[in-house]
């Protein structure tokens, strides 16, 4: 039994009726693959504006792949060294949670690539949450936070998590009381904000400032972009080309962060089932948004599994095979003929017909996005024994 068979056996929303799948295209001879890599390497060592034309669907506007610039800081919460340092302290401080046992780092652990390695995260009292914790890498470039985009800023996102009853289950009053009772915190808030007032709003601003400093580090793809042709293997070069052309990944995973920042339906809603999650619809109440989730970054993707909003796929191989099949397609059941909330899969998802060699090359490219690990020492609560 292969990995794709195992994935299909899980209670995911997969085909209820046969769909047209493309047979794998013919593989090339070994020397032909080598020749292809040589030609593509020469093409992709040119400036990105001269790269081969990507395969884009109508209406898709390309933002080309590239190096990640520094994250912008909003004018209402400008960067300050003292503020970022305070935010790092708060990020690891469990006093932000009602139980006093959870911190931001509980779900976004730097040792786990700023995620938590779980299918879906645990919240207050070990509540099993519905969604996978996405990495915070380059989160300062994200304009709509959470998988469903319900927060418009990192400051709002931090506040909502602290107050969410299933997550950190705290309140502004309790946060101010707990942090204010720590002798060192008022002075740190004074240095960061100009006066010693300690509250949840400022805590969220400091955490957001720290999060905007969580940026990409060295990886093989970036080294290749900087003019080091040996940084990518032949397989990864072919995978880069597939990513932008026949594999169609570039339609959603574009730009320096490998995300269009938009919301798409991949038919993983569990519609009408126990684990139903309608995604962005819960925010907008627009039937067109049923099942849509934000495109995640692919930077450091080999180290940020499990994958998808519900953590369905434990390994990259399963993800690639699912996309190669065009993802699942469900059929309306009796009584659903006129259901306005019936999930409609994104038209960007289509059977690809990639062969085993193609899939291996595509995986090699994705593995080139793995970043040099950064050891971040967790900050102890300020009044903890040293």
Which residues are known catalytic residues? 167
Of the candidates 294, 278, 295, the one whose C-alpha atom is nearest the C-alpha of residue 286 is 278
CA distance 216 to 210: 14
Q: How many helices (H) and strands (E) does the chain have?
A: 12, 2
CA distance 270 to 220: 37
Q: What angle do CA 159, 160, 166 make, to 5 degrees?
A: 130
Q: What is the DSSP letter of 293?
A: E
CB-facing half-sphere around the CA of 292: CA atoms within 13 A: 23
Q: Supply 48's token pair.
A: 């990105």
Q: What is the dihedral of CA 262, 267, 272, 273, to 10 degrees?
A: -110
Of the candidates 190, 224, 235, the one whose C-alpha atom is nearest the C-alpha of residue 86 is 190
Other Cβ atoms within 10 Å of 23 Cβ, number: 8
Burial 164-187 (b: 16+ CB within 10 A, else e): eeebbbbeeebbbebbeebeebbe
Q: What is the DSSP letter of 263?
A: E
């Amino acid at each position: 039994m292969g990995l794709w068979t195992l994935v299909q056996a899980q209670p995911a929303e997969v085909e209820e009726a046969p769909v047209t799948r493309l047979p794998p295209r013919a593989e090339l001879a070994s020397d032909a693959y080598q020749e292809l890599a040589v030609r593509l390497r020469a093409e992709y060592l040119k400036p990105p504006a001269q790269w081969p034309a990507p395969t884009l669907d109508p209406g898709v506007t390309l933002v080309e792949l590239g190096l990640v610039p520094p994250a912008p800081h909003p004018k209402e919460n400008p960067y300050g060294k003292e503020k970022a340092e305070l935010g790092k302290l708060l990020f690891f401080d469990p006093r932000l949670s009602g139980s006093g046992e959870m911190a931001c780092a509980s779900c976004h652990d730097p040792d786990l690539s700023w995620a938590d390695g779980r299918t879906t995260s645990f919240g207050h009292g070990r509540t099993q949450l519905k969604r996978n914790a996405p990495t915070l890498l380059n989160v300062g470039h994200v304009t709509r936070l959470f998988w469903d985009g319900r927060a418009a800023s990192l400051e709002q996102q931090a506040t909502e998590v602290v107050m969410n009853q299933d997550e950190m289950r705290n309140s502004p009053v309790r946060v101010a009381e707990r942090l204010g009772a720590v002798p060192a915190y008022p002075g740190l808030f004074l240095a960061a904000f100009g006066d010693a007032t300690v509250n949840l709003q400022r805590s969220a601003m400091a955490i957001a400032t720290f999060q905007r400093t969580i940026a990409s580090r060295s990886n093989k793809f970036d080294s290749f972009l900087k003019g080091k042709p040996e940084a990518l293997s032949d397989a990864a070069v072919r995978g880069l080309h597939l990513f932008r052309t026949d594999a169609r990944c570039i339609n959603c995973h574009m730009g320096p962060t490998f995300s269009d920042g938009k919301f798409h339906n991949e038919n993983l809603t569990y519609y009408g089932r126990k684990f139903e999650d309608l995604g962005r619809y819960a925010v907008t109440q627009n039937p067109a948004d049923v099942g849509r989730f934000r495109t995640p970054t692919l930077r450091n993707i080999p180290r940020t599994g499990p994958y998808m909003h519900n953590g369905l796929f434990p390994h990259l191989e399963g993800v690639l095979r699912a996309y190669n099949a065009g993802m699942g397609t469900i059929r309306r059941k009796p009584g659903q003929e006129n259901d306005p909330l019936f999930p409609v899969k994104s038209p960007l998802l289509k059977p690809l017909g990639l062969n085993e060699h193609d899939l291996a090359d595509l995986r090699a490219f994705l593995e080139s996005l793995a970043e040099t690990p950064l050891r971040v020492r967790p900050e102890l609560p300020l009044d903890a024994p040293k």
